[in-house]
Amino acid sequence: MKCCQSRPTNLYREPSRSACSSHKLMYLLISTATAFCLFFFLRDTTPVLFVKPSAAEDMKFESDTVGSTQLSDVYWRVSIRHITKLLSEVCDQEKYTVLTNKNIKSDNKRMKENYIYFCNPLSDNIQAIFNARVVLSTVTSKTIRCKETYGEKTKTVIRQYPFSLKYIDAVNFSPQTKIIRNGIEACTILHAIDIVNSVWD
């Protein structure tokens, strides 16, 4: 850089701060101010509350599919990361296996987006997801008896697997497809999908 080239020194003049140092200081100040502004404006200040599961109440409303408008909205993404952090803390404190949008109240309203959070990540690091749906295998099919509990209700459901799980990752917000061959994971995933679709009753 031209400003960083050395110049002849006058022994009779007081040393002055170089133009390069001034530019570096100005760059540092601007970078710090920009980072602060981004943090201030992009932080999510909306109050988010956890709602305990209730089979009687949570099956009364369906979840909405997450669309491209939301996925491209940087403020919406920040709010989702805030929700994911809250559910992670709930999982650390309570004995839940899976939580959904039915367990979130944001700005005093129930979360409508089709969202699932697995307290313990499944294979291939599946944990927080949107728009989950399954495509059953047409080649081989197994069945498993799943003992499922939601809120005050427990029942046994016959589930089929393996299947392809199609979803949008709630961390990097990209579409994914995974093959689920484990029966226990199949129970957990299909149970959660029934919850968000309000068909588990």
- Tell me whether residue 16 is in a domain: no
Domain residues for the domain of 154 are 48-196
pLDDT for residue 35: 46
Assessment of whether the complete model's pTM goes beyond 0.85: no
- Tell me whether residue 76 is in a domain: yes
Percent of the chain at pLDDT exceeding 70 = 77
As a whole number of angstroms, the distance between CA 198 and CA 16 comes to 72
| pLDDT, the chain, mean | 85
- Tell me whether residue 96 is in a domain: yes
- Tell me whether residue 126 is in a domain: yes
- Tell me whether residue 24 is in a domain: no
| Across 33-37, 44-48, 94-98, 155-159, least confident range | 33-37
Domain count, the chain: 1
- Tell me whether residue 186 is in a domain: yes
pLDDT for residue 137: 83
What's 180's domain CATH number? 3.90.45.10
pLDDT for residue 38: 45
Query: Could you give the residue ranges of the DSSP H alpha helices within the chain?
Result: 19-42, 55-58, 68-71, 74-93, 183-196
pLDDT for residue 40: 42
As a whole number of angstroms, the distance between CA 97 and CA 8 comes to 71
pLDDT for residue 34: 53
Average pLDDT over residues 44-67: 87
Q: Closest Cα to residue 141, out of 124, 158, 125?
A: 158
- Tell me whether residue 114 is in a domain: yes
Segment 153-167, tens digit of pLDDT: 999 999 999 999 999
Residue 88's Cβ-count burial label (10 Å; 0-12, 13-18, 19+) is middle
- Tell me whether residue 154 is in a domain: yes
